[in-house]
Amino acid sequence: MDKKKKRNSQSKKIFIGLILGIVVGILLHTLVPDSHFKNDILIDGIFYTIGQLFIRLMQMLVVPLVFFSIADGCRNIGDTETLGKVGVRIVAYYLLTTALAIVVALSLASLIRPGKGMNMSIGDQSFEAVDTDISLVDTILDFVPTNPIEALATGNMIQIIIFAVLVGLLIASMEDRLITLGNIVTEMNDLMMGMTMWVMKLAPVGVFFLIARTFSNLGFDAILSMLSYMGSVLGSLVVQLILVYMLLLSLFVRVNPFKFIKKYAPVMTFGFSTASSSATVPLNINTLEEMGVDRKISSFTIPLGATVNMDGTAIMQGVAVIFISNAYGITLSPTDFLTVILTATIASVGTAGIPSVGLVTLSMVLESVGLPVEGIAIIMGIDRILDMARTTVNLSGDAVGTIIVANTVNAFDKNKFNS
């Protein structure tokens, strides 16, 4: 209960920081005339410096968090005696639904067009997209690092992920000789999760200064674009939950999806309140057992899903790409959309199941298509509000996948589900 109260308190603080930042920014924009104190000392001095310090703290975590979380996740997958049918099928399901989630997000956001007309720029400089005129062969070859240390130092996320996957799988295959190294990877992953939580404690202050500076430059008009961003994310989450998950459940298991929602509602509610996939793992496993899933299956797939299957996070990243590209007036090509689908799918794999960590990996997705990382500042406060909703979708995706896979190996009791 204490942890739950702390999470709720943190969410309230960040929401208050968001509202205060909007109010202060709009008041500065509309009521305070331009002056050296307002523009140079306050907006581009205090507001900018403190806001950027928080952004840098987040960026500091990206490389180690991605590396250790993915390496540890792959180690845990390989740590089972054999992945077998369950392992292969659940991983395939997680990757497929994550890719579908990004497609849903990009499609809906392209229709709603959040951020259109904001005409933002980075500081006093306009942003120019990075030239990506390279061949497909070079792109594929660039996935594999020639020097993993260089990849870690320069923050080449695709190469870091490939290296982390190999490290995790090899540690698992040589577990008897690499016990200490395996423990170090796990402990470093725990450390990075703890550091992420520590940085997020500073989020209310960071959000206030970032949003206050944004609205002091943009004024009230930015609110409409932020509301369209929220609508795009929530709409995509609803489509993923109702159309994608429930359709898959109906097609592959032949059960009533509405009965699933009714039985699974307590898990959704708990996940919504905690905004953490990891914190909901025990309740998730117990509820699925009551619904007819063999515990031997769910005890593997649910913890794995809390690390690997982050469809809600992928949706946020997909919508954020459209939002930020519109806000900064940057046109994305079809190749950029494919890059986002690939990068966001990979980024969501291994994302720690703790509140708001998706904001940390979002910078990786933005950089993959040459969009400014500073755009995260606009959506940070609102993202905390949406974090609870997308956690509910993450949990539901884990549960649906578990039922589907359990049914394929005769580990799902339909009579118990229908009772």
Tens-digit pLDDT profile for residues 346-382: 766 545 444 455 666 787 788 788 888 877 777 765 6
Q: Which pLDDT band, with edges at 50, 70 and 90, does 82 fall under? A: very low
- Higher-confidence residue: 48 or 7? 48
- Higher-confidence residue: 339 or 124? 339
**H or E element in which residue 10 lies:** helix 2-31
For 134-160, the pLDDT digits (tens) are 455 665 677 788 999 998 888 776 677
- Higher-confidence residue: 74 or 298? 298
Instruction: Quote the CA–CA distance of 332 and 326 in Å, as a whole number.
Output: 9
Q: Is 172 in a helix, a strand, or coil?
A: helix
Q: What is the pLDDT of residue 162?
A: 77
Instruction: Quote the CA–CA distance of 124 and 28 in Å, as a whole number.
Output: 18
Tell the burial category of 356 from Cβ atoms under 10 Å away from its Cβ (0-12, 13-18, 19+): buried
Instruction: Quote the CA–CA distance of 204 and 12 in Å, as a whole number.
Output: 9
Q: What is the pLDDT of residue 157?
A: 64
Contact 277, 398 (CB under 8 A): yes
Q: What is the pLDDT of residue 382?
A: 64
| Ramachandran class of 115: left when φ > 0, alpha when ψ lies in -120 to 50, beta otherwise | left
CA of 87: how far to CAs of 12, 185, 225, 401, in Å? 39, 21, 42, 11
DSSP sequence for 110-165: HHH-TTTT----BTTB---PPP----HHHHHHTTS-S-HHHHHHHT-HHHHHHHHH
- Higher-confidence residue: 174 or 303? 174
For the residues 301-314, what does the mean pLDDT come to? 79
User: Any residues with CB less than 8 A from the CB of 379 and at least 6 apart, and which?
Assistant: 226, 229, 320, 323, 324
**Distance from first CA to last CA of the chain, Å, rounded?**
31
User: Which CATH number does 2-418 carry?
Assistant: 1.10.3860.10
Q: What is the pLDDT of residue 132?
A: 36
The domain segmentation of the chain, as residue ranges, is: 2-418
Q: How many CB atoms lie within 10 A of CB 322?
A: 26
Q: What is the pLDDT of residue 229?
A: 87
Residue 228's identity, in one-letter code, is S
Q: Which pLDDT band, with edges at 50, 70 and 90, does 128 fall under? A: very low
Contact 64, 257 (CB under 8 A): no
**Angle at 300 (CA atoms; ends 296, 302), nearest 5 degrees:** 115
CA of 191: how far to CAs of 156, 172, 187, 304, in Å? 22, 20, 6, 19
241-250, 318-327, 379-388: which is most confident: 241-250
Q: Which pLDDT band, with edges at 50, 70 and 90, does 93 fall under? A: very high
Q: What is the pLDDT of residue 237?
A: 94
Which neighbouring-strand residues pair with 293? 412
**What tokens does 380 get?**
């940070």
| Model confidence at 25: pLDDT above 80 | yes
Q: How many CB atoms lie within 10 A of CB 334?
A: 7
207 φ, ψ to 5°?
Answer: -60, -45
Mean model confidence pLDDT for the chain: 78
Q: What is the pLDDT of residue 184?
A: 92
CA of 66: how far to CAs of 88, 189, 193, in Å? 22, 9, 10
